[in-house]
């Protein structure tokens, strides 16, 4: 049975920084997120938006901040369990048991950086759509080269859908972009880039039916909005980009003191369950401000106090980064 010192639930910016800091403190760390990608709200809701209130950065795009956090985090060999939603927590014999959609994890302490809840892609509401998931139907693009030489349809009207269409244009054999409205919601600049491209834009079309052979998606039927006109399109892959939903439905059963979907914490970021700490948007205390900068401050407080909880000999004021860095990487 693998027992981690600290398990961080939620790999948004605050969870990522908490994980980095846990590495600085040489904690055996596990990171869990319901998404297959890191970055929480920054990755799912506003990757291309600039953020102006991160200390030390006059302006930084959300996607670049996430990439910097990733770079910082990969300093350590932490364990990642992505694409895995936490369903419940319970504490027994000083060990916290974390039940997820894929199994059970064990940890001496937990830091909850759940933000506004577990993100899931908004899925295609069609019969049999779940059967084709990962068999021709994708909600994430993890590897562009998977689509090399393939006929790919992309559904959605926002920036992500258009970005994927433009990125896949030189790689795939054919790219179709399907949107239920005539106009796209994406930035004008991206929409303009579509015009001279070879991307086949199909608007306003709705996906009406999926069909396949040998369990793999092979055809999609499109219906023109407000008409009976249909098109049957043979494809190798359909990428659906309908945005994300977030939910905190499981939190209420975890036995934590909370109010209005936020976990009540003390000034050391501890919650009402011993060994369970919280930081970032999910935590609440008098005067709490929900900002990335605030969460970045709460993360080291949570980590240092969690380690002190596990081992009371550990100081809650461990020294500055230079001495921690020397301790982690310097001669032993």
State which residue, 113 or 241, has the beta carbon closest to ligand FAD.
113
Q: Report if residue 156 touches ligand FAD, rule: CB under 6 A.
A: no
Q: Which residues make beta-bridge pairs with 133? A: 137
CB of 150 to ligand FAD, least distance (A): 29
Among 6, 7, 8, 12, binds ligand FAD (CB under 6 A): 12
Site for ligand FAD in 83-122 (CB under 6 A): 85-86, 113-119
- On whether the CB atoms of residues 204 and 181 are closer than 8 A, the answer is yes
Q: Report if residue 10 touches ligand FAD, rule: CB under 6 A.
A: yes
Shortest CA distance to 110 belongs to which of 318, 288, 265?
Answer: 265
Q: Where are the beta strands (DSSP E) in 248-307?
A: 258-259, 262-264, 276-278, 283-284
CA distance 205 to 220: 12
Site for ligand FAD in 273-302 (CB under 6 A): 280-281, 290-293, 295
CA distance 94 to 3: 11
Shortest CA distance to 74 belongs to which of 64, 66, 62?
Answer: 66
Rg of the chain, C-alpha, whole Å? 22
Choose one: 42-50, 135-143, 184-192, 222-230; the region binding ligand FAD (CB under 6 A).
Answer: 42-50
Choose one: 3-11, 202-210, 230-238, 259-267; the region binding ligand FAD (CB under 6 A).
Answer: 3-11
Site for ligand FAD in 225-254 (CB under 6 A): 250
Judged by the rule CB under 6 A, the positions of this chain that interact with ligand FAD are 9-15, 32-35, 40-42, 45-46, 49, 51, 53, 85-86, 113-119, 250, 280-281, 290-293, 295
């Amino acid at each position: 049975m693998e027992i981690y010192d600290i398990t961080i639930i939620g790999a948004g910016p605050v969870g990522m920084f908490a994980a980095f800091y846990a590495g600085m403190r040489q904690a055996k760390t596990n990171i869990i997120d319901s998404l297959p990608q890191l970055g929480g709200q920054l990755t799912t809701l506003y990757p291309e938006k600039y953020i102006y209130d991160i200390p030390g950065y006059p302006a930084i795009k959300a996607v670049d901040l996430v990439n910097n956090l990733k770079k910082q985090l990969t300093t350590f060999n932490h364990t990642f369990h992505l694409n895995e939603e936490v369903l419940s927590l319970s504490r027994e014999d000083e060990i916290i048991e974390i039940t997820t959609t894929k199994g059970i994890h064990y940890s001496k302490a937990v830091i909850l950086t759940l933000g506004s809840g577990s993100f899931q892609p908004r899925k295609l509401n069609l019969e049999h759509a779940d059967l084709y998931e990962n068999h021709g139907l994708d909600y994430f693009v993890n590897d562009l080269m998977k689509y090399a030489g393939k006929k790919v349809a992309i559904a959605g009207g926002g920036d992500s859908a258009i970005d994927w269409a433009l990125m896949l244009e030189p790689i795939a054999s054919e790219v179709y972009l399907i949107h239920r409205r005539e106009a796209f919601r994406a930035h004008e600049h991206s929409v303009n880039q579509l015009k001279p491209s070879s991307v086949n834009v199909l608007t306003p079309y709705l996906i009406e039916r999926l069909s396949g052979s040998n369990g793999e998606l092979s055809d999609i039927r499109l219906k023109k909005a407000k008409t009976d006109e249909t098109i049957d399109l043979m494809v190798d892959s359909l990428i659906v980009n309908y945005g994300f939903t977030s939910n905190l439905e499981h939190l209420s059963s975890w036995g934590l003191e909370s109010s209005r979907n936020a976990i009540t914490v003390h000034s050391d970021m501890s919650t009402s369950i011993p060994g369970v700490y919280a930081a970032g948007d999910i935590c609440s205390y008098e005067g709490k401000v929900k900002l990335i900068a605030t969460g970045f401050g709460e993360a080291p407080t949570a980590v240092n106090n969690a380690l002190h909880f596990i081992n009371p000999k550990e100081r809650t004021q461990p020294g500055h980064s230079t001495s921690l860095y020397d301790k982690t990487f310097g001669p032993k």
